[in-house]
Amino acid sequence: MKKFLFTLCFLFASAIGHADGIEMFGDPPNEESKPGNRSQALLPTVDYADGEVTIDVPYQIDDMAVTIRNDQGVVLYSTVIPSITMQYSIVLPDTVDADKYSIQIAYGDIYLIGWF
């Protein structure tokens, strides 16, 4: 019975805190794409839930440029994050509707774009 209640609580918490992952597209870093290197490139992941965009990074990244645009190309948010070590959150205005925005992330030789 305890196992059932624990599982039920876990599923309920997961449903409430669910964020939509934003699939990011772009080129992998040059070092990772060299012949003979079998390691997978570690890139930031981006989620969107309840008007908040969250960027998670696997390691410290300096000078990350982040730009969010609407479907007409108008910039809603733009910044350069001097140093990000784990997570960075952006709260968007209440007027933001899903499926009408793009997010662009650039740092070093990496450029990523995704839509939400």
Number of folded domains in the chain?
1
The pLDDT, as a whole number, for residue 45 is 95
What integer best gives the mean pLDDT of the chain?
78
> Whole-model pTM?
0.71
Q: What is the pLDDT of residues 4-41, one digit of tens each?
A: 333 333 333 333 344 678 999 886 555 544 455 555 56
The pLDDT, as a whole number, for residue 30 is 54
Residue 1 lies in a domain: no
On the question of pLDDT at 1 being above 80, the answer is no
CATH number of the domain where residue 53 is located: 2.60.40.3080
Element (H, E) at 6: helix 2-16
- Rounded Cα gap, residues 97 and 80, in angstroms: 24
- Rounded Cα gap, residues 43 and 21, in angstroms: 14
Give the DSSP per-residue string, 102-113.
EEEEEETTEEEE
Residue 111 lies in a domain: yes
Residue 109 lies in a domain: yes
Residue 94 lies in a domain: yes
**Domain span at residue 41?**
19-115
Question: Which letter does DSSP use for residue 60 in this model?
Answer: -
How do 101-107 and 61-70 pair as beta strands?
antiparallel
Structure tokens at 10: 């876990």
On the question of pLDDT at 110 being above 70, the answer is yes
On the question of pLDDT at 97 being above 50, the answer is yes
Please compute the mean of the pLDDT values over residues 93-111 and round it to a whole number. 85
Q: What is the pLDDT of residues 45-73, one digit of tens each?
A: 999 998 899 999 999 999 999 999 998 89
Residue 13 lies in a domain: no
